[in-house]
Amino acid sequence: MAKDAKQRLIDGLNKDLQGEFQAIIMYRLYASIVQGPYRQELRTFFANEIPEELLHAQVLADKIAALGGIPAATPATSSGARKPKQRGSTGWQPIWTRSSRMNRSTGTSSARCSHAGHRPGSGG
């Protein structure tokens, strides 16, 4: 692989790694600050996503190191960490409102992971 292409790959993987770190922080934060009638279910839901994101971070860090790069040690930045929202039929809403689409029997939600293209519980 050409040196430039390899460095671009490492840079891209590091950007993804920072997104995984951001997701871990945001899930932890959401689990702690969520409020409302589904608080307990959402708290568990968010906390249960963290191990999957840690695994994503591990895979990316190992690939970066195998390519000769240095894995990033900082998360991507986000301005929305204190306002978790989900998209509903009437637009974006705080995730802890009564109209939340939490499925109480399965513990699943239509909430989206904070980093690109990932949906909690989808393995992505």
Beta bridge partners of 93: 86
Q: Report how far residue 36's alpha carbon sits from residue 45's, in angstroms, rounded to the nearest whole number.
A: 14
Interface mask (CB under 5 A) for Fe ion, residues 91-110, using x and -?
A: --------------------
**Backbone angles phi and psi of 116, in degrees to 5:** -45, 120
Neighbouring residues of 7: CB distance < 8 A, sequence distance ≥ 6:
69
Out of 56, 60, 61, 76, the residue judged to bind Fe ion by CB under 5 A: 56
Q: Which is nearer to Fe ion, 97 or 112 (CB)?
A: 112
- Interface with Fe ion (CB under 5 A), residue total 4
Q: Does 41 bind Fe ion (CB under 5 A)?
A: no
Stretch that binds Fe ion, among 6-14, 33-41, 52-60, 90-98 (CB under 5 A): 52-60
Q: Which is nearer to Fe ion, 41 or 56 (CB)?
A: 56
**The two structure tokens encoding residue 33:** 């600050």
Q: DSSP string spanning 21-49? A: HHHHHHHHHHHHH--STTHHHHHHHHHHH
Q: Does 49 bind Fe ion (CB under 5 A)?
A: no
Out of 17, 26, 53, 86, the residue judged to bind Fe ion by CB under 5 A: 53
Residues that bind Fe ion (CB under 5 A): 20, 53, 56, 118
